[in-house]
Structures are given as structure tokens and as C-alpha cells.
Chains A and B, each alone.
Chain A
């Protein structure tokens, strides 16, 4: 790891100030994506701004018909949140599938979505529920937030503060785990909130998380696995690596979408 200067602000404003003064600086949340890439020297920030002492960035709260999750809330704490398990178990199941117990004890929702790893789980949940990402500057709809592999709509000096998820009556996540890394080879999040139906896919697309509009259309008639029986998506634009071909990933999208629909209706 290359060296850097280390800062521990106690407010979001201070953190933003530190980023403004250190244009090559990076925010550090749980550190379980950033530190590994710094060790590999794929990232070499000049400054690290650790958010762990910033107050008010953690916790899961029910606010009206939304669940608001602080950016620094650890995966284990989201997975164990009784409030969330009561109102939307489909979302609560997502962080429980990330990495291993020690990773879940440190990793955070804000870090995960800011990183936008194409195989990460939270981007599918955000897009699959139509979440709103709340930063120190503005509110960004999930549909506008994830702009491509490892890239987001976040501007320089912009800090994710909370993520607000509308409570959907039906919501579920199904993932085909890579057996070694625990990352999603393919993961599909489905939800139905009134007329709003969403099918979001992570792990498969070479441009990161995406929605399957053909499935969403078909599900308008009836939100059930049967409605998309026999439907497929093209393999063009799917990821290809040693773990799976584009065709296999496309196949998994349909299989996992049907499983997620069955789970959401259970």
C-alpha cells in the first residue's frame, strides 16, 4: 500500500472540507473494498478521510412508508435490524448474504453503493426498490445513481449520508453466490409496490446493475413466476470471465428472477 495522510473528521461538513482540500483523497467507511484495492496498488489515494467518528451516519429507522438506513450502518446491523425484518424481510436478507461474518461486521451500505462493484448485492436492492440515495448535497434516485461499472453519479466531494428505501409489499432477493468470494455471480432483486414493479440484476451486466424491463412489463399482469415462464434475456452485454459465460449469466437471470418472485409471494 502506498502511504497517505489520515484524517478523522467528526462531522459531514468537516469530511467534505477535507475532500475539497485533498482532491486525490478517498472516504473510508468499513474499508473492506478500499483497503484491498489499495494493497494491490490499484488505488493510491493521497489522503484517507475515515468516517467512523462522524455522528448520525448509522442506524435503521422506519420513517413513514420508507426505511432509512444510515450510510455507515454495518451489514450485520442491517441484517439484524428487527424494524427492517418486520417491514421488509426481502431487503433485510441482502446484507446477510455479503462476504463472511467478519466482513459483515465492518462493511457498510454507503461504502458498498459508492463503490458500485458490478457483483455487489446492495446496488440490486437499491435499484430493485427504487431507493433514494441522500448525500450532503442532494437526493439521487437509484435509477440515476448507478452509472456503470465502479462508477456512480456522485460528484467530487459528495458524501452519501443515508439511503431511503420505500417499503414494498412484496420484495425478495435471490443470488447465485460465487462459492469462494461470496459475491453474486448473478443476483436478482424483485419488488412490487402498488403499480411499480421492479426487477434489478447485479453480477451479470458488463455495465453494472440494470433493470429487466421485459420482465417488469410481463409482471404487470400478475406478479408471479409464471408470468415470466419461458422468457429469456439476450446474452449480449453480459459479463464474461473464468467463472461464467455471458450465456450462462443470462440464463441465471431468468432462473433467479423466477425464484425471487416465488420467494416474494411466499
Chain B
């Protein structure tokens, strides 16, 4: 076992893990932050996307020990403490950008990274192209794309 420390959603956390423990396992099983999902476990579906020092990454293809000392943001870290949703979460709710909801945390974390890289005025082509690393089996993406476009605009306000 090895000790690992990092900051998750603004809080310092620490834990004992086997070196082979994935970041997503550490988040879900040690910290009980089960908003980050495991879909494919082969770095294709994007359900496990979190931000490592502000940059989106797949937590199923990252070892917990690789992010020792880093600052991690998960879906649980987006809403305000009182429960007010982040503008991107609100946009997914408003535009019904989900059906079963399994891919949604990854979609939202990915959406925020699209805004980081491309700014707040996003066109449909950019959003669809940049969602390459996220798979949704329910929605056909239509409302997800609408939600991201609206969420990105709302974030600029």
C-alpha cells in the first residue's frame, strides 16, 4: 500500500491505496464520490472524466498515485455549497440533455473543458467535434449539444 494525498473539490484528502488503484476507483471507493462513473473502463466513453489541475482527463486511465499533490474537480464540486447548480448543470437540466443520466457527469466535465479551450460562443460543429471522447447511448446527442451551447453562454454572464 502507498499513501496518496491530493485536493478534491477544494478539500485536502488522503488515503492508502495499492499502486494499481485508478483515480476513478479512489474517488468512488475511498472518497465515496460516486458521481464520477465507470462506463467502458477502456478510455473511450468519457463517463469518468474529471479535471486534473483544471484540465479534463479520463480517471479510468489515470493512476491515483499519478495525481499525488494535484487538484481534482469532480461533478460533485461544481454546484455552489447551498445547492445552486453550476450554469452548465442548469443548462443540461433546462434543455433535458440526458435520459438515463449515466454519461451526464462526464459530459458536463467535458463541456467545461470545451469552454476552457474554445470560449463561450460555441457552434454546433465545434461542440459535436469536441465531444469525440464522450459516448451517450440514449439521447442521440441533440439536447446535449443544445445544453452545452446554452451553458457556455450562461457561464459568460
Q: Which A positions have Cβ atoms within 8 angstroms of B?
A: 1-6, 8, 28, 31-32, 35-36, 38-39, 48, 50, 52, 99-103, 105-106, 180, 182
Contact = CB atoms under 8 A, between A and B. Distances in A.
Contacts of A31: 61-63, 66
B20 A2 contact: yes
Contact of A100 (B42, B55, B68, B132): B132
A3 B132 contact: no
Contacts of A35: 61-63
Which secondary structure dominates chain B's binding surface? mixed
7 contacts: A3-B18, A28-B63, A32-B43, A39-B42, A50-B65, A102-B49, A102-B57
A31 B133 CA distance: 16
Contact of A102 (B41, B46, B65, B68): B46
Given A2-B20, A6-B19, A101 B66 contact: no
A235 to B, nearest CB: 30
A100 B63 CA distance: 19
B20 A101 contact: no
A100 B41 contact: no
Interface in B39-61: 41-44, 46, 49, 55-58, 61
| Top 4 closest pairs, chain A to chain B, by CB | A100-B133, A6-B19, A100-B132, A1-B20
A122 B130 CA distance: 21
A102 B19 contact: no
A28 B62 CA distance: 11
B42 A105 contact: no
A35 B58 CA distance: 12
A251 B41 CA distance: 35
B133 A102 contact: yes
Given A31-B63, A102-B43, 7 more contacts: A1-B20, A3-B18, A31-B62, A48-B63, A52-B66, A101-B56, A180-B44
B43 A36 contact: yes
A5 B19 contact: yes
A25 to B, nearest CB: 12
Interface string B126-157: 00001011000000000000000000000000
